[in-house]
Amino acid sequence: MSAVVGRFAPSPSGYLHLGNLLALLLAWLDGRALGGKMILRMEDLDPVRTSPAYAAAIAEDLRWLGLDWDEGYPDPAFSQSTRTALYAAAFAELEKRGLVYPCWCSRAQRLAAASAPHPGEAVHDPRCPCARLSRKERLAREASGRAPAWKLRVPDLEVSVEDVHYGTYTQDLAREGGDFIIRRADGVYAYQLAVSVDDMLMGVTRVVRGRDLLSSAPRQRWLIETLGGTAPVYAHLPLLISDSGKLSKRLGSLSTQALRQELSPQALTGRLAKLCGLTETEEPLSPKELLPLFGWSRVRLEDIPMDKDMEI
């Protein structure tokens, strides 16, 4: 049996909020319950949206809560911004196999592609017109001088993942997922490529994250296998939702910075455990004390509404 490797993969684009913390807590519980090691990888691909200050704050929040890791941050080798050569090598390999094509679609679509897709955000065009340009049309676009983004041509193939929590999830890559951007027009490698390459090269065997990324799992599995790797096991978790939808890093009142003013790490862990269904009460306890109570069968499947009195 190969060793279990879990990962924390936050994007340092803001302070963590309660929903991020729940995902990180469950990733830690999942990895540690299996006796695995944990990696902290900073997903700071986008130089405009992320900052080293947020990366430091996130690492500090994890430590404060009692979630430890064995490898990764602050080792720069585990920050995506230093790993461009690895993404370039994977890109070249895919290009060599004729799976990559330039795309001159709108800027809004390109910007969305470098970040993880969240519900309601259009991140791909299932039938990208750029995939079918004639030689003449392509030459004309190239002559325009406008830099293209680069898309991966996915096959007409059904790919399934056995999600630990939500069961079998199947997607027709071409029809439901569609070709997707792997490098933006500004040269930044996109989330889907970077996360797949990193999970593969870091030997990650368990991916635990919010269920808004479940629909990305089949294409990540396919991409990893296409590059010759073994896909991890995926376990997605329900989202914390407020009246305006999924919590975001912009939601100040539930940011860790605000929560830490009011709660001890044990009180916050107790609250998270109750919210996701692991415990019946909000009894304060540390992540280590929660470990024996952890099991995916106890984690709720439905999203978790945040009512007003849960806000601090």
Contacting positions for ligand GLU (CB under 6 A)? 9-11, 43, 116, 195, 209, 213
Beta-bridge partner residues of 242: 245
How far apart CA 157 and CA 30 sit, in angstroms, is 30
Select 124 or 209, whichever has its Cβ closest to ligand GLU: 209
Q: Please, are residues 150 and 109 in contact by the beta-carbon 8 Å criterion?
A: no
Select 83 or 209, whichever has its Cβ closest to ligand GLU: 209
Select 84 or 266, whichever has its Cβ closest to ligand GLU: 84
Name the 3-class secondary structure at 208: strand
Select 116 or 275, whichever has its Cβ closest to ligand GLU: 116
Least distance from C-beta 272 to ligand GLU, angstroms? 17
Least distance from C-beta 50 to ligand GLU, angstroms? 10
Residue whose tokens read 């009460």? 281
Name the 3-class secondary structure at 82: helix
How far apart CA 198 and CA 261 sit, in angstroms, is 35
Least distance from C-beta 7 to ligand GLU, angstroms? 8
How far apart CA 232 and CA 241 sit, in angstroms, is 27
Distances in Å between the Cα of 186 and the Cα atoms of 46, 68, 137, 175 are 10, 35, 22, 27
Least distance from C-beta 44 to ligand GLU, angstroms? 9
User: What is the identity of the amino acid at 267?
Assistant: A
Least distance from C-beta 39 to ligand GLU, angstroms? 12
How far apart CA 182 and CA 194 sit, in angstroms, is 8
Select 66 or 232, whichever has its Cβ closest to ligand GLU: 232
Select 213 or 224, whichever has its Cβ closest to ligand GLU: 213
Least distance from C-beta 182 to ligand GLU, angstroms? 15
CA dihedral 8, 9, 13, 15 (to 10 degrees): -10
